[in-house]
């Protein structure tokens, strides 16, 4: 059973942009509901889904009738940024958590976020991720955490957010709301764009090692060309803002460097799963 946050602890809203996520949204919501400290609200923003995303959300709402799951539709524009903004603008918690529809939060995520934002100087926070559909998940988590800490040391005072696992104080969001890029051509990293605008307004971004969110490694199934285009969003985002600090390219270089190894591991795992399923059906 989740415990209600105290009056001294900031309330946490969770915003989940979704587009055709019928296969992942149920697990995402159940993890968000079954927290050691309850979220103030869990907002799913459906962006023109053509699958059963809405029906799945309603099924989870019925299974957890006392959970603060809110389903909203954002049909005016297609895209992550307007969908994210729609949810952020309607969130009522002191802190707005942002995850993906395939994220699976660790059970203490809301509790950890609340503790991080008990420091009034913290405007935003981010943490490592656990790839739940890859082998050696906990080893991967420790490695991911070490890599992110190393990258933060390189970038020094500049801390970037990771969109699948981030939170921002609602007052900080209101401060940068009219400054963030709309990215109509879908060429940027929306989380890095938020990070840039927070830095420009001198908002403190904290890195919290025990603020852990699980995410899928399904992007590894992209072609090398598509993956490289995705990774190069770092370069395009910084270029859009006239930022030329070489250290800030570290995440992009890391993602490009580890892609061949992780893609091979992913392919091997998929083959093992296919063989196991074939054997089970025989």
Please provide residue 278's backbone torsions phi and psi, each rounded to the nearest 5 degrees: -65, -45
Structure tokens at 156: 């020094």
Q: Which residues contact 278 (CB under 8 A, 6 or more apart)?
A: none
Are 42 and 14 contacting, i.e. CB atoms less than 8 angstroms apart? yes
Q: What angle do CA 110, 115, 116 make, to 5 degrees?
A: 95
pLDDT per residue, tens digit, the chain (282 aa), is: 343 444 478 999 999 999 999 999 999 999 999 999 999 999 999 999 999 999 999 999 999 999 999 999 999 999 999 999 999 999 999 999 999 999 999 999 999 999 999 999 999 999 999 999 888 889 889 988 998 888 777 776 667 898 899 999 999 999 999 999 999 888 999 999 999 999 999 999 999 999 999 998 888 888 889 988 888 998 899 899 998 877 777 778 887 888 888 778 777 777 887 777 777 775
Buried b (16+ CB within 10 A) or exposed e, 78-89: ebbbbbbbbbbe
pLDDT at 13: 98
Are 39 and 68 contacting, i.e. CB atoms less than 8 angstroms apart? yes
pTM: predicted TM-score of the whole model, two decimal places: 0.89
pLDDT at 78: 95
- In three-state secondary structure terms, 60 is helix
Supply the DSSP string of 165-200, one letter for each residue: SEEEEHHHHHHHTTTS---TT--S-HHHHHHHHHHH
Mind listing the domains of the chain with CATH numbers?
Answer: 12-219 (3.90.550.10)
pLDDT at 5: 44
């Amino acid at each position: 059973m989740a415990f209600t946050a105290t009056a001294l602890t900031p309330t946490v809203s969770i915003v989940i942009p979704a587009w055709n996520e019928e296969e992942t949204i149920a697990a995402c919501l159940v993890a968000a509901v079954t927290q050691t400290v309850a979220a103030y609200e869990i907002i799913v923003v459906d962006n023109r889904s053509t699958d059963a995303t809405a029906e799945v959300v309603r099924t989870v709402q019925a299974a957890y009738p006392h959970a603060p799951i809110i389903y909203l539709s954002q049909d005016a524009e297609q895209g992550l940024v307007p969908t994210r903004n729609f949810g952020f603008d309607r969130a009522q918690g002191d802190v707005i958590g942002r995850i993906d529809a395939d994220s699976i939060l660790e059970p203490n995520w809301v509790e950890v976020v609340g503790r991080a934002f008990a420091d009034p100087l913290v405007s935003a926070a981010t943490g490592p991720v656990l790839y739940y559909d890859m082998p050696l998940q906990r080893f991967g988590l420790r490695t991911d955490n070490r890599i992110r800490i190393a990258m933060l040391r390189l970038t020094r005072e500049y801390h970037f957010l990771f969109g699948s696992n981030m939170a921002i104080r609602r007052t900080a969001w209101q401060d940068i709301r009219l400054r963030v890029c709309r990215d109509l051509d879908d060429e940027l990293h929306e989380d890095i764009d938020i990070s840039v605008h927070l830095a420009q307004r001198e908002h403190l971004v904290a890195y919290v090692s025990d603020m852990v969110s699980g995410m899928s490694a399904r992007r590894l199934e992209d072609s090398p060309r598509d993956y490289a285009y995705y990774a190069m969003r770092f370069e395009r985002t910084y270029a859009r803002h006239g930022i030329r600090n070489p250290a800030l390219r570290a995440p992009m270089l890391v993602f490009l460097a580890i892609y061949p190894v992780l893609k091979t591991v992913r392919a091997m795992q998929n083959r093992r799963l296919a063989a196991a399923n074939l054997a089970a059906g025989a």
